[in-house]
Amino acid sequence: ALEGALKLKEISYIHAEGYAAGELKHGPIALIDENMPVIVIAPFDRFFEKTVSNMQEVAARGGKIIFITDEKGAAASKLPTMATIVLPEVAEIVSPMIYSIPIQLLAYHTAVFMGTDVDQPR
């Protein structure tokens, strides 16, 4: 999440912040409304249920959820999302590397869409 937020700021100049799921209720939740996209990174692991609980809070406030998970996570979550990106199931030790790929691509394509120079940011 931190890597994705950093990359979004670096190349598209959009303010973004990465938070651990447990930190959502300590401030960031106050900013969520129907205009706020929220990227949720949630492989089906020991923290999945707690992360889905946070997704419910986001959905209740009208936030637009982009959900990055694996097949088990996609099947287990019944919440409406703006988009769901399903990744392969991988060992927990390598999941941070695998899950950083779609958030970096999201930052890249956002920057290209906005017309910023991704090869030479400010």
**Residue range 48-64, pLDDT digits in tens:** 999 999 999 999 999 99
Mean pLDDT of the chain: 92
Q: Which residues, listed in sequence order, are joined to residue 86 by a DSSP beta bridge?
A: 69
- Angle at alpha carbon of residue 57, lines to 55 and 61, rounded to 5°: 115
What's residue 83's pLDDT? 95
User: In the predicted model, is pLDDT for residue 121 greater than 90?
Assistant: no
Q: Which residues, listed in sequence order, are joined to residue 70 by a DSSP beta bridge?
A: 87
User: In the predicted model, is pLDDT for residue 115 greater than 90?
Assistant: yes
Three-class DSSP category at 67: strand
Domains of the chain (ranges, CATH numbers): 2-114 (3.40.50.10490)
CA distance 109 to 112: 5
Burial 20-42, CB ≥16 within 10 A → b, else e: ebeebeeeebeebeeeeebbbbb
Cα atoms in the Cβ-side hemisphere of radius 13 Å centred on 49: 1
Q: Indicate yes or no: pTM above 0.85.
A: yes
CA end-to-end span of the chain, whole Å?
Answer: 22
